[in-house]
Structures are given as C-alpha cells and as structure tokens.
Amino acid sequence: MPLFPTPLRALFSPGTAASSTSALPPPRRPPLAGALLFLSLGAVAGCALSTRRLPFLRAISSARMESTSTTVPSIVVYVTVPNREAGKKLSASIISEKLAACVNIVPGIESVYWWEGKVQTDAEELLIIKTRESLLNALTEHVKANHEYDVPEVIALPISGGNLKYLEWLKNSTREK
C-alpha cells in the first residue's frame, strides 16, 4: 500500500509531471518509514516487556545499566508486613544493615491469598525496597529471620534503567555483598 494517496504521491515522487516542470530540484521523499521504525524501536526498547518480544534488545537494555561503572545491576523488592510497626522495624533493620538504599512503606494494602486450604483476606502494608541485585540473597535471609510470617513474601523485579544519579546513590548507599 502506498504511503501517500495518489494526488500527494505525485508531489513526493521524483520524475512525475509535478516535479519535472518545476525550476526547483525534485523534492526528496520524506524519511517517514525510517522515522517511524526508529520511534517504534525506541518506544519498544523503553518498554519493560520488550526483551521478551525482541530478545536481541536484551543485550542493548542490560548494557544500558552495566556499561557504566557508576551503577550496578539493581532491583526493586516487594515485602508485605502485617502492620505499620512491623514495617518500620523491618525497614530500619534493612537500612541499618545496608541491605537497601531505600524502603517505602505503603499503607492500606488488602491481600487476598490461598493459605491453609482456604481463601484468606488481610490488611497489610507493602515495603518497596530498592537495592543491588547482588544483595537479594542476603536481603531474603534477613527478611526471613526478622519477619512475623512463616512464609514472608520476597519478590524481586529488575530495574532496567532510570535516573542515573539515583542509581549511583543506590550503589553508594548499599554494601557490596
């Protein structure tokens, strides 16, 4: 299918009557297809799911963080806690051990889950923990040792990019291992 309708195609195609009778050089075809391809790949490269759809982008996106020595591979970890006091206590111990650079405590979470053969519903709070990928095992062990639940939630998601200054701060605010 042509990019332009028939009347407009004559304006953008070299060698047509419209362009050959003019004293001006024939107009160049706009690089529309190339621009659209560039923009769509740029949009896809910034998307969290892009490496699943286009595996060749995995090397590009992971190099974005690892190519600079000022940052380290980083993650966001979710941990739920039963109440505000438990969240503050666990957050403070995580930060004091330098297992994370920052912990956000999000109140008002309602969790619905399967436990002991039936559906349970509980009010909880969510800890959003920003740390190095290399600290995940130590952080998980710390949470298990200091949490009220028999099976605490510890779920990690990769950080594929972001504010470089924040990612540098994250690296500088946490221990190496």
Residue 158 CB neighbours (<10 A)? 15
pLDDT at 111: 96
* SS3 category, 162: coil
Length of the chain: 177
Which residues, other chains included, contact 166 with Cβ-Cβ below 8 Å and sequence gap of 6+? none
| CA 26 from centre of chain | 46
Q: Which residues have C-beta within 8 Å of that of residue 1, sequence separation ≥ 6?
A: none
pLDDT of residue 177: 87
Instruction: Render the burial of 99-135: b for 16+ CB within 10 Å, e for the rest.
Output: bbbbbeeeeeeeeeeeeeeeeeeeebbbbebbbbeeb
Architecture of the domain spanning 74-172? 2-Layer Sandwich (3.30)
Asked whether the beta carbons of 138 and 145 are under 8 A apart, the reply is no
Q: What is the pLDDT of residue 27?
A: 52
Residues of the chain with pLDDT under 50: 1, 3-13, 16-20, 22, 29-51, 53-54, 56-63, 65-67
User: How far apart (Å, rounded) are the C-alpha atoms in residues 146 and 153?
Assistant: 12
Taking only the tens place, the pLDDT of each residue in 10-45 is: 444 455 444 445 455 555 544 434 443 344 444 333
> What gap in Å lies between CA 46 and CA 164, rounded to an integer?
15
For the chain, what are the domain ranges?
A: 6-66, 74-172
